[in-house]
Each structure stands twice: as structure tokens, then as C-alpha cells.
Amino acid sequence: MYVLSKGVVKYIRSMRSMLYVSLFFVLVQVACSGKDNAPSQQEKTYPIVKIETRLGVMHFWLFDETPNHKAKFIELANAKHYNQFTFNRVIRNFVIQGGCPDSVQYFKDSPYLLEPEFVDSIKHVYGALGMGRDDNPEKLSNACQFYVVNREMGLPNLDNNYMIFGKIIDGEDVLEKIEIEPTNANDKPKVAIPLDVGIVELSQQQLLDSFKFSIPE
């Protein structure tokens, strides 16, 4: 039977201790590195509308003051509902309209009707994101359709008649490009403008860094 000397045993124990210490520091460094690169799980994020078109991308903030319209738009955007449509109505100094067209097919007995949530402080200003409707007396919105105000002075005559539930925070240049697209007699762009509408979750810092947008108090 081979027996190790006390010196050899002591040396092995010493090397083993050093190995454990080195392994500990490696694990600590890996953990710290992961913390630096990973987003904080405690960091609050906000749902931002992202509309991609062949003319560029626009981003929109959604108002908490209109919770039902906000929630329904997010639901339909996440379901890719709007991506089957285009910006089908473009009028200079008025609005660009996307989603379902103005037709009985999409408005009669629509499953996307919402009662209005008018807020006096939310107006039809430039870049306002609104929800379309027909001439129903209850002023019910149809979440199938949306529009963006592109008149610099806004459209105060539409306040408390049509629902505004968001506003543009990036892509005003794209809004202007869409506004000047050639259209036919029905205000439909001669070259289609397909929609790719989605929701991206961004933190307050990301909104500030990307769009210089501060969260409303």
C-alpha cells in the first residue's frame, strides 16, 4: 500500500484550496457581468405603438386616461390584426387613416366597438392617434380603424366627437411623407402603404434615449 508523505498531503490540500478560491472568483465575475448586461427585472416598461411602413417608422404613446381604447388597440396590434390593412385614406391637412376601410363590411355589427372615453384635456392636436367610427348616435369607436391627425393647427372640431387615445413621439417626418403621397379621387394612395403594427415595451430611460420623450406626470 502506497502512503503519501505529510508534505505531499499538505501540498495537495493547499492546491485544492487555491482551486476553490479561483473558482469562486470566476463565478462572482460571471454573475456580475450578467447583471450589467441584463435589464433590471424591477424596471417598469411602457407599451409603445410601432407602425412600420414603406415610408418609415412611427412610434406612439398611449394614454392611460383612455384605458379601454388603449387595451383594445394593444390587443389587436399583438394579434397582427392591422397588418392585413393599409393606410387607405390620406388627406393633406387633415388625417391619414389606417386599418379597415369605411364600409358596411367592417362597421355593421363590428366586434370591436367601444364606448367613448372622452377626456377634456386630450385634443385632436397634430400627431394625435385616434380611433375611427361611423355616424352611430352613441359615438362608438371601431377599434378596427385608426387615424393620425396631420393638420398643424389640429382639428378641434373633432374633439369630443371622435376618440383620441395616443400621440406620436417619433416619426413626424414619416407622417409628412405619407401625407403628400399621391391619391385618387377617393383619397386612397395610388401606391399602397401596407401596415406593420406592433407593440414594443420600453423603459423610461429607453424612451428618453431613443425619442427624447419623458413620461407624463
Task: Report the 10 Å Cβ neighbour count for 202.
Answer: 18
Strand stretches in 28-101, DSSP E: 45-53, 56-62, 86-90, 95-99
Tell me the H-state helices in the chain.
6-37, 67-78, 104-107, 172-179, 204-211
Mean pLDDT on 63-88 = 98
Full residue range of the structural domain in which residue 26 is found: 1-37
Place of cell 382639428: 155
Sign for the CA dihedral angle at 137, 142, 145, 151 comes to: positive
Query: Which secondary-structure segment (H or E) carries 28?
Result: helix 6-37
Segment 158-197, tens digit of pLDDT? 999 999 999 999 999 999 999 999 999 999 999 999 999 9
Q: In terms of domains, do 5 and 84 share one?
A: no
Residue 91: pLDDT over 70: yes
- How many domains, the chain? 2
Q: In terms of domains, do 152 and 113 share one?
A: yes
Q: In terms of domains, do 124 and 80 share one?
A: yes
Q: Do 66 and 60 form a contact (C-beta atoms < 8 A)?
A: no
